[in-house]
């Protein structure tokens, strides 16, 4: 190719305003990348809130079966998975929208309900995809300051204007691990005008067993503007396959279905997700492991004199007081990958995902040695 600098067009400035302001999502560092860079082996990745159990055997079998028909397009309607979800969640099929990960669904919602004329509200420290989806449709992001690292629903309500079309709520929030209880959430939803779509992102809901954690699906009858999103990437252990979904009123699902790519979820993901729903043992093992790991890491951090944000998810955000990226880099040299949070405006915090018991210990030992 010839020298691109001689081009008469500046393809950066030709992009729409919102897109120009975007910074690509920063994923957790892949194990292979660290292997290449530092020549390390035996690396522990606790950076992307992935399930440490490995894949369910039911999912493996379903994927094997799909290999035989891999030349065919997937079922664009996702009939089998939608039916399985409808049974599992006790909802109507017409309320479900499938996505290539729940990130895809978040994007569909933004494309369907926000544009250059609209404002989209979300919290400071909220999941990074809300900003990406908002800006890519050239909507105005209204970022509401957090309270105790969590969503300040009163302030989010105050931020509503005539232009507000969409509100994103992560419950619990990633990366902070904070959650909103049933009464706070219902109070908020009751006050929000019905013409504003409220997305309740429940990516970690399967892990949670605190009694005042709201089940978004049970609120759908009462709040027709509510869209609940969930995923197979976390507690169900299928992050690489990319499959998530929303449950909403059927009219919203109808609209999301219009902006969706015809084959947005691949055959392997559809089959594995449908199969894994009947592996209750897998889910329960993961939950138990996570509960124990939260305690193990919490106690380990406290023993090191570090404070952390109490979390109900499968990860913990902790305060290293000094520059988090330095500690992150030092941990990499020990073969432990966690997540730096400077891009979330939390330069002194790191987020660690809950792993297997020995992985958690590796992390705690590495942290003790680098501090």
Chain residues in the site for ligand PLP (CB under 6 A):
49, 101-103, 127, 170, 174, 201, 203, 231, 233-234, 239, 244
- Between 223 and 315, CB nearer to ligand PLP: 315
CA distance 188 to 168: 13
Smallest distance from ligand PLP to CB 176, Å? 10
Smallest distance from ligand PLP to CB 344, Å? 12
CA distance 335 to 332: 5
- Strand order of the β-sheet with 197-201 is 96-99, 244-247, 226-231, 197-201, 164-170, 119-123, 140-144
Smallest distance from ligand PLP to CB 255, Å? 20
Residue nearest to ligand PLP (CB): 101
- Between 203 and 346, CB nearer to ligand PLP: 203
- Between 58 and 239, CB nearer to ligand PLP: 239
Smallest distance from ligand PLP to CB 103, Å? 3
Region for residue 101 given its phi and psi (left: phi exceeds 0; alpha: psi -120 to 50; beta: otherwise): left
Among 214, 232, 16, 194, residue whose Cα is nearest residue 104: 232
257: CB partners within 8 A, 6+ apart: 97
What percent helix, strand, coil does the chain show, rounded to 5? Answer: 40, 15, 45
- Between 140 and 234, CB nearer to ligand PLP: 234
The strand pairing partners of 121, in sequence order, are 142, 167
- Between 170 and 275, CB nearer to ligand PLP: 170
With beta carbons less than 8 A apart as the criterion, state whether 340 and 324 touch: yes
Smallest distance from ligand PLP to CB 27, Å? 10
């Amino acid at each position: 190719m010839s020298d691109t600098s001689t081009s008469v067009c500046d393809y950066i400035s030709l992009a729409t305003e919102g897109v120009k302001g975007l910074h690509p999502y920063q994923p957790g560092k892949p194990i292979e990348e660290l292997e290449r860079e530092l020549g390390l082996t035996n690396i522990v990745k606790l950076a992307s809130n992935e399930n440490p159990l490995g894949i369910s055997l039911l999912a493996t079998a379903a994927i094997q079966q799909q290999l035989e028909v891999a030349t065919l397009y997937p079922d664009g309607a996702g009939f089998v998975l939608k039916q399985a979800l409808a049974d599992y969640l006790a909802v109507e099929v017409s309320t479900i929208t499938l996505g290539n990960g729940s990130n895809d669904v978040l994007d569909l919602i933004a494309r369907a309900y926000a544009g250059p004329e609209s404002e989209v509200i979300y919290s400071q420290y909220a999941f990074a995809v809300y900003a990406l989806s908002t800006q890519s449709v050239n909507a105005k992001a209204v970022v509401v300051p957090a309270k105790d690292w969590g969503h300040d629903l009163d302030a989010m309500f105050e931020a509503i204007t005539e232009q507000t079309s969409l509100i994103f709520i992560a419950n619990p929030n990633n990366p902070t691990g904070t959650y909103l209880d049933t009464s706070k959430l219902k109070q908020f939803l009751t006050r929000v005008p019905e013409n504003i779509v409220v997305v309740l992102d429940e990516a970690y809901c399967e892990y949670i067993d605190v009694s005042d954690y709201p089940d978004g699906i049970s609120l759908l009858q009462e709040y027709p503007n509510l869209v609940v999103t969930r995923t197979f990437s976390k507690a169900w252990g299928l992050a690489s396959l990319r499959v998530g979904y929303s449950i909403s009123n059927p009219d919203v699902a109808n609209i999301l279905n219009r902006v969706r790519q015809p084959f947005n979820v691949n055959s392997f993901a559809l089959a594995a997700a449908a199969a894994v729903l009947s592996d209750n043992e897998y889910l329960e093992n993961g939950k138990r492991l996570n509960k124990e790991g939260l305690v193990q890491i919490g106690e380990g951090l406290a023993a090191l004199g570090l404070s952390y944000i109490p979390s109900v998810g499968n990860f913990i955000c902790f305060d290293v007081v000094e520059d988090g990226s330095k500690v992150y880099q030092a941990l990499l040299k020990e073969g432990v990958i966690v997540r730096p949070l400077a891009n979330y405006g939390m330069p002194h915090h790191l987020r660690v995902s809950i792993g297997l018991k020995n992985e958690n210990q590796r992390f705690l030992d590495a942290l003790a040695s680098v501090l």
